[in-house]
Structure 1
Amino acid sequence: MSIYLNTSSVPGVLEDSCHLMPFDVEHDGSANVSSYFTTTIREEREGPTASFRGRPLNGQHFTLPIGYSGIVVKENRKPVTEDEDRELNITHRFQKMTYWNLDKLPSADDRFTQAMQWADIAKALHRPVDEESSQKSVTGK
């Protein structure tokens, strides 16, 4: 099975906000997020707070690293078998997002925060090394 990402619609894709929630919502379809969730967000000193179905949420705003863009994809037709190819279409893009924790403040120990550090680590690992600086690191001079 192959997964194809249809990038032809990227120039016309809407820029939107994105929220990473710490739970699954068993719903496929539209939801009136701006009326029922966004309106409950309060900016506190520790960061944004909100609630979802009575459960307290603590959030942190996050801007994607330079050179990265977030995308939201949708699969218009589900495959019938596991071997069938899949095609995803880009519906929205974002540069900023808010990730949320249930019942605790966001911290450096969160899996999301740790995962986002990999962009900087990968950049450092794959940066070209010139001869002069590599000689200095080997000899210590």
Structure 2
Amino acid sequence: MTTTTPLIKFDVCIYKSDDISQEEFLNWSTKVYPVKAGPLIKRYGIVKWTHTVQPTGFREPMRHAMKTDMGRPDWTVPDYDLVTTYWLRSLDDMRALTADPEWVQLEKEACIKSNIAIGHFVVGHEVVHFEGNVDNAGA
């Protein structure tokens, strides 16, 4: 029996720069930046790369629901504008990617669009309990 090593899930929680609108930031981060960064990310063997967009309009309703409906008054909904997630075989793949001169150049542009003074990393293994439960959609 062979065992497989789980992929490492690496989340980068990003705030936009105060100088640009959320619409401009999301357009750049989900449409412009991926065209430039995608080939480089693939070159370093990153298995999967996604973005989770967190619109400002979702935050306050969720905060309110947690406090009033869910009984979680001390829980928070962070103000991240975007979470970019990489699935890796090894953290060395991410280290190699971020050391590449092309990546360093891309990050210079990202520093203009993002507020790099704050942010958050989450690193671990994803445990999937079910996936693709589309048969019950709309039921």
Instruction: Report the TM-score range of the alignment, normalised by the length of the smaller protein.
Output: under 0.3
Higher relative contact order by CA 8 Å / sep ≥ 6: 1 or 2? 2
The structure number with the bigger radius of gyration is 1
Normalised TM-score (structure 1):
0.26
